[in-house]
Amino acid sequence: MTETSPQQTSVKKILPFILATAIFMQMLDSTILNTSLPSIARDLHESPLNMQNAIISYVLTLAVFMPASGFLADRFGTKKVFIFALILFSIGSLFCSMSQNLTHLVISRVIQGVGGSLMTPVGKLALIKTFDKSELLKAMNFAIIPALIGPVLGPLVGGYMVDYLSWHWIFLINIPIGVLGMILGLKYMPDYKSTDVDFDLKGFLIFAAASLLLSISLELFGDMQNISPVLFVFILGFLFLYYYYKHARRGGNPIFPLDLFQVRTFRVGIVGNLATRLGISSVPLLLPLMIQIAYKQSAVTSGWIIAPMALTAIFGKSSVIKILDRYGYRQTLMVNTFIIGTLICLLAIPNIHTSLYWFVPIIAILGFFNSIQFTSMNTISIADLRNFQTSSGNSLISVNQQLAIGFGIAFGLIVLKLFENSDFIEGEIHNAFRYTFLTVGILTIISGFVFRRLHISDGKNMKSKED
């Protein structure tokens, strides 16, 4: 092994911090909007329940463009792509703060999403290529800390900024962080390239079209006047998925090879991730909305009530290895999904006169079990992948997570709108939220049966691995 130069030493010290900056921006941006939507909606003259596009557009843009991040880094170099991603993310943030209507905000969020889809994956790629395997876990753990802190700060920072400044600052806060990342990136980010550049552009475009069409069909369903266009877009999305299947079968080098789905643990992990996140992803948005719309409380109050979910997730992450070693993946995931679904159902119990403090222990416990769920699902998904499948498999898991979050948010708001417009709730918006929590909670419990397909011994080779 060659001797480490002072420049390499500096890079190894600063690079995890650069990646941490990118992850922090992305995680903060993913959660900061949840407590701010009612205020933004008032300013843009929209209903808070119609603001989901501002969140879903960002999440789905991440999902659509993430598969291209590795190719772009190999083709143009990690340094150039990372700096470009930071610039794009910061410009998108500036445009968000200047939005005059919902359409402007959605377009700006898409620009942010393109930057975010390149920023973190390319930063991780540079880290993996810079550090030896013996050093990588320590470096990655440092960089991942903001992923745990971001969801804690997001709702609180968003709440305080909305209540004491204005909602525009929840986007402007990204710009100084982005500038710091650019300065450090220009000096310390290594510029790795690859001569063996092969990208399945056709497959990427087909898969992206399928993802967007299926997402749009959910959006149309949420504001449905006529069933025909909804069904047309939905069927078209599935036709594009089938087209991708036919494309991938022809061989070559597809972005997501079909042989991944021949691995049973990967298949169960992907389906389980999609199914369980339908309920889980809707809670961090629905609860702040309910606290502000039904309970007439401030954004700060909703931020403080949702914050324990992220704090206890840190404890869940530190406990998950012991739990999996003792109970195994099959039992852990089935029981854990049942607990999460039950906790979501419990959010439906308080009536409009119940103290808001009732929600705090439920949310705190939910954060703990969510953390166990995500780590378990992600690690079982890659448990039996071979070395040559790990890169594409890991990429598909990331894309699947983002799609699942987007679908979950859309699904939760669709159910809420259906109850809101029904005679069943007797004109009480609070009851619409209660029945929505009950519905998504029951569906989450049912989704746990996906993990019955796991064997008791599955994941034994993952004892030393963690998400």
**233-272 per-position pLDDT tens digit:** 888 888 988 888 888 888 777 878 888 888 888 888 889 9
Angular region, 77: left φ>0, alpha ψ -120 to 50, beta rest? left
The pLDDT of residue 459: 67
- Please state the rounded mean pLDDT for residues 356-363: 86
The pLDDT of residue 196: 62
- Counting residues of the chain whose pLDDT is more than 90, the rounded percentage is 8
Residue 388 — very low, low, confident or very high, per pLDDT cuts 50/70/90?
A: low
The token pair at 290 is 């309910």
Where does residue 255 rank: exposed (0-12), middle (13-18), buried (19+ CB within 10 A)?
buried
Nearest to 40 by CA among 297, 218, 307, 299: 299
**Angle, in degrees to the nearest 10, between helices 429-447 and 264-280:** 170
The token pair at 38 is 């009612």
Of residues 114 and 426, more confidence is placed in 114
The pLDDT of residue 49: 67
> What digits encode the pLDDT tens for the residues 114-129?
998 888 788 877 777 7
Asked if 389 and 254 count as a contact pair (C-beta separation under 8 A), the reply is no
Asked if 84 and 111 count as a contact pair (C-beta separation under 8 A), the reply is no
3-state helix, strand, coil split of the chain in percent (to 5) is: 80, 0, 20
The pLDDT of residue 151: 63
* Average pLDDT value over all residues in the chain: 79
Residue 345 — very low, low, confident or very high, per pLDDT cuts 50/70/90?
A: very high
> What digits encode the pLDDT tens for the residues 283-318?
888 888 888 888 888 777 877 887 788 778 777 777
DSSP assignment string, 341-379: HHHHHHTTS--TTS-GGGHHHHHHHHHHHHHHHHHHHHH
Asked if 192 and 72 count as a contact pair (C-beta separation under 8 A), the reply is no
The token pair at 454 is 């796991």
The pLDDT of residue 63: 77
| Domain 1-197, CATH number (from 3.30.1370.100, 1.10.760.10, 3.40.50.720, 1.20.1250.20) | 1.20.1250.20
Pick from 133-137, 180-184, 232-236, 353-357: least confident = 133-137
The pLDDT of residue 150: 64
Pick from 28-32, 273-277, 297-301: least confident = 28-32
Cα 452 vs. chain centroid, distance in angstroms? 25
Residue 337 pLDDT exceeds 90: yes
Give the Å distances, CA to CA, from 460 to 272, 338, 456.
19, 23, 9
Residue 161 pLDDT exceeds 60: yes
Residue 390 — very low, low, confident or very high, per pLDDT cuts 50/70/90?
A: low
> What digits encode the pLDDT tens for the residues 42-89?
888 887 767 777 777 887 788 788 878 777 887 788 888 889 999 999
Please name the amino acid found at residue 403: L
Of residues 186 and 388, more confidence is placed in 186
Helix runs in 33-101, H state only:
37-43, 52-65, 69-76, 78-97
DSSP assignment string, 262-326: GSHHHHHHHHHHHHHHHHHTTHHHHHHHHHHHTS---HHHHHHHHHHHHHHHHHHHHHHHHHHHH
For the chain, the C-alpha Rg in angstroms (whole number) is: 22
Residue 94 — very low, low, confident or very high, per pLDDT cuts 50/70/90?
A: very high
The pLDDT of residue 28: 74
Of residues 248 and 197, more confidence is placed in 248
Asked if 266 and 385 count as a contact pair (C-beta separation under 8 A), the reply is yes
The pLDDT of residue 343: 93
The pLDDT of residue 135: 61
Question: CB neighbours (10 Å) of residue 250?
Answer: 8
SS3 193: coil
The pLDDT of residue 65: 84
Asked if 203 and 244 count as a contact pair (C-beta separation under 8 A), the reply is yes
Q: DSSP label at 225?
A: S
The pLDDT of residue 443: 92
Asked if 307 and 156 count as a contact pair (C-beta separation under 8 A), the reply is yes
Q: What's the full length of the chain, in residues?
A: 467
The pLDDT of residue 292: 83
Angular region, 106: left φ>0, alpha ψ -120 to 50, beta rest? alpha
H or E element that contains 260: none
Of residues 247 and 2, more confidence is placed in 247
Rounded Cα distance between 11 and 78, Å, is 14
- Please state the rounded mean pLDDT for residues 184-202: 77
Homologous superfamily (CATH) for 259-467: MFS general substrate transporter like domains (1.20.1250.20)
The pLDDT of residue 344: 92
Residue 467 pLDDT exceeds 50: no
The token pair at 272 is 């389980």
Pick from 4-8, 150-154, 377-381, 438-442: least confident = 4-8
Residue 30 pLDDT exceeds 80: no
Rounded Cα distance between 286 and 41, Å, is 15
Residue 23 pLDDT exceeds 50: yes
Number of H helices, E strands in the chain: 17, 0
Residue 383 — very low, low, confident or very high, per pLDDT cuts 50/70/90?
A: confident
